[in-house]
Amino acid sequence: MELHTINEENLSIKIFLKMCYYRVLVGKPEGKRPLGRPRSRWEDNIKMDLQEVGGGCGDWMELAQDSDRWRALVSTVMNLRVPKMWGIS
């Protein structure tokens, strides 16, 4: 009797999986994709700032571990950003 119930459970699982595969392959996606270019991530901004300052695109995570070097980098980048934000050249 146990074999019979196990086979029925396997069959119902297989049918369920086939329905899911069919739904994925044939169905229409729900929701909308945002238009335009992808949003920039925090990590992308850090990499761009490093390139602007001239630090290259090295391992910025290692740089962040050294608090003194990281603080110096952040202050340099902030000094570059503030004049641009307030319209001062």
Q: Is residue 80 part of a domain?
A: yes
Rounded distance between C-alpha atoms, residue 17 and residue 34, angstroms: 30
Range of the domain at 57: 42-85
Q: Is residue 49 part of a domain?
A: yes
What is the reported pLDDT for 33? 78
Rounded distance between C-alpha atoms, residue 25 and residue 21, angstroms: 6
Q: Is residue 78 part of a domain?
A: yes
Question: pLDDT tens digits, residue range 23-76?
Answer: 778 777 778 877 888 888 888 888 888 888 776 556 788 888 888 988 888 888
- Rounded to two decimals, what is the model's pTM? 0.44
Q: How far is CA 83 from CA 39, 68, 78, 87, 89, in A?
A: 25, 24, 9, 6, 6
What is the reported pLDDT for 1? 45
Number of structural domains in the chain:
1
Q: Is residue 69 part of a domain?
A: yes
